[in-house]
């Protein structure tokens, strides 16, 4: 736990606000912001109150990992193979297989 706190403090380039300002910000926001696991969670709240910036390093790492998994060559190959199999089985027409092939190509190029 202590190592995580140190890494967050080292990554955040903002200077921590004084305790009274942190408390004032927390009281001001209490009940006015709707919770969102990805876009405004407890880490976002604390970072805003303490540093004045709305960021969650855990959310950032999660989104980075998901993006890495989805934009991989393996996913591109799987999508292209699935499109070919569905086309061969007659479940797709040439016009509906086109977007799947284009999608797999775009994933391949972005990975």
In this structure, are 106 and 81 located in the same domain? yes
In this structure, are 28 and 59 located in the same domain? yes
The catalytic residue among 42, 63, 74, 85 is 42
Domain that holds residue 94: 73-110
Q: Is the pLDDT of residue 111 over 60?
A: no
Q: Is the pLDDT of residue 6 over 50?
A: no
What digits encode the pLDDT tens for the residues 79-93?
888 888 888 888 878
Q: Looking at per-residue confidence, does 32 or 3 come out higher?
A: 32
Q: Report the domain count for the chain.
A: 2
Active site residue 63: no
- pTM here is 0.57
Contact 97, 83 (CB under 8 A): yes
What digits encode the pLDDT tens for the residues 15-68?
888 999 999 999 998 887 888 888 888 999 999 999 988 889 988 888 888 888
């Amino acid at each position: 736990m202590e190592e995580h706190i140190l890494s967050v403090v080292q990554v955040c380039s903002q200077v921590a606000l004084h305790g009274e300002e942190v408390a004032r910000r927390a009281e001001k926001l209490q009940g006015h912001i709707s919770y969102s696991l990805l876009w405004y969670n407890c880490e976002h709240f604390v970072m805003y109150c303490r540093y004045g910036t709305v960021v969650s390093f855990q959310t950032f790492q999660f989104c980075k990992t998901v993006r890495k998994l989805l934009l991989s060559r393996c996913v591109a190959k799987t999508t292209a193979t699935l499109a070919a199999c569905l086309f061969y089985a007659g479940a797709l027409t040439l016009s509906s297989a086109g977007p799947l092939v284009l999608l797999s190509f775009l994933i391949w190029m972005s990975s």
